Amino acid sequence: MSAVTTASTRAAIEAATVRLRDAGVEAARVDAEWLMAGLLGVGRAVLAANLDHELTPTLAARYDAAVTRRERREPLQHVLGWEEFCGLRFTVTADVLVPRPETETLVEWALSLLPPPGGIRRLAIDVGTGSGCIACALAAARPDLEVVAVDASPAAVQIARRNVSALELGGRVTVREGDLLSGLGRLRADMVVANPPYLPAAALAGLAPEVAAHDPLVALDGGADGLSVIRRLIAETPGWLTAGGALVLETAGGDQVPESAALMRAAGFSNIATRRDLVGVERFIAGFLPSTEDGGG
């Protein structure tokens, strides 16, 4: 493990790339560039145009410290302190799951399943909000939408509130601490959306170091079959939805999709639909309560 002492940005990135590759980091060059871009407060495109920039000894030392953290397999986003999600920037720390690109598909799909804007306020509940990424992305895309975001982790609630405030969504996004929907009183929402913990306990051992050692366990662990939180959430959700309201979930895919579909049917949902993620795995599932026209509530 050699320190980054070289003075040019290009040479520092090249040396860091070798270190990260040796440490088993998959996208070593990209990460070395992001760490430098983060240090200089620019994007990667600006960085690419300034590779001959001379690093001061102070900047070289700070870059070395950042590379060392990544070399120890801390997630890139923890070292940078942020991640982009649906075009918005979210503060991330070890207290929240790093927002994943596949969850952007969940948000896009959820937006398409909401009733169209029509002059009345709509309400969504984001269960297990973590960084607040789903709640904020929904609210940013739909000015008629209020979102109640809930998480069982007090530390995650603090980060989510910070993100809501930084994105100036505090007028429409409220973050609460609680176990699933149980603490939310008499709310009736048009949609409940969640990216819950869904990994089967046996899968936790095989995770990459960035996930296993740095994402919070409460964000990952779905119990023996991965469905322990999903099972409870599907059973509870009808009590917090309006007639015709939708439950939209991310799952691990595979058997969890038909199993979630069966749980949804048993809880009174119909018109169950699924979506594939960015690499073609079917893992998102939605169901609807009967609308008033169908004879529902």
Ligand X SMILES: C[S@@+](CC[C@H](N)C(=O)[O-])C[C@H]1O[C@@H](n2cnc3c(N)ncnc32)[C@H](O)[C@@H]1O
Give the binding site for ligand X (CB under 6 A). Answer: 96-97, 99, 103, 127-131, 133-134, 150-153, 156, 179-180, 195-197, 218-219, 229
Q: Which is nearer to ligand X, 116 or 154 (CB)?
A: 154
What H or E segment, with its residue span, contains residue 151?
strand 145-151
Q: Which residue has the tokens 């051992």?
A: 205
Assess contact for 129 and 162: CB atoms under 8 A. Answer: no
- Nearest distance from C-beta of residue 82 to ligand X, angstroms: 13
Q: Which of 33, 58, 54, 52 is nearest to 43 (CA)?
A: 33
Q: Which is nearer to ligand X, 71 or 146 (CB)?
A: 146
Q: Which residue has the tokens 């306990």?
A: 201
- Nearest distance from C-beta of residue 261 to ligand X, angstroms: 20
- Nearest distance from C-beta of residue 117 to ligand X, angstroms: 24
- Nearest distance from C-beta of residue 152 to ligand X, angstroms: 4
Burial of 62 (0-12, 13-18, 19+ CB in 10 A): middle
Q: Which is nearer to ligand X, 128 or 245 (CB)?
A: 128
Q: Residue 63: what residue type?
A: Y
Assess contact for 267 and 234: CB atoms under 8 A. Answer: yes
Gap between the Cα atoms of 151 and 125, Å rounded: 11
- Nearest distance from C-beta of residue 191 to ligand X, angstroms: 14
- Nearest distance from C-beta of residue 87 to ligand X, angstroms: 15
**What does the radius of gyration of the chain's CA atoms come to, in whole angstroms?**
21
Q: Which is nearer to ligand X, 114 or 125 (CB)?
A: 125
Gap between the Cα atoms of 32 and 228, Å rounded: 38
* CA-to-CA separations, 210 to 24, 35, 39, 69, 228, in angstroms, rounded: 11, 16, 21, 11, 24
Q: Which is nearer to ligand X, 48 or 208 (CB)?
A: 208
Q: Which is nearer to ligand X, 15 or 88 (CB)?
A: 88
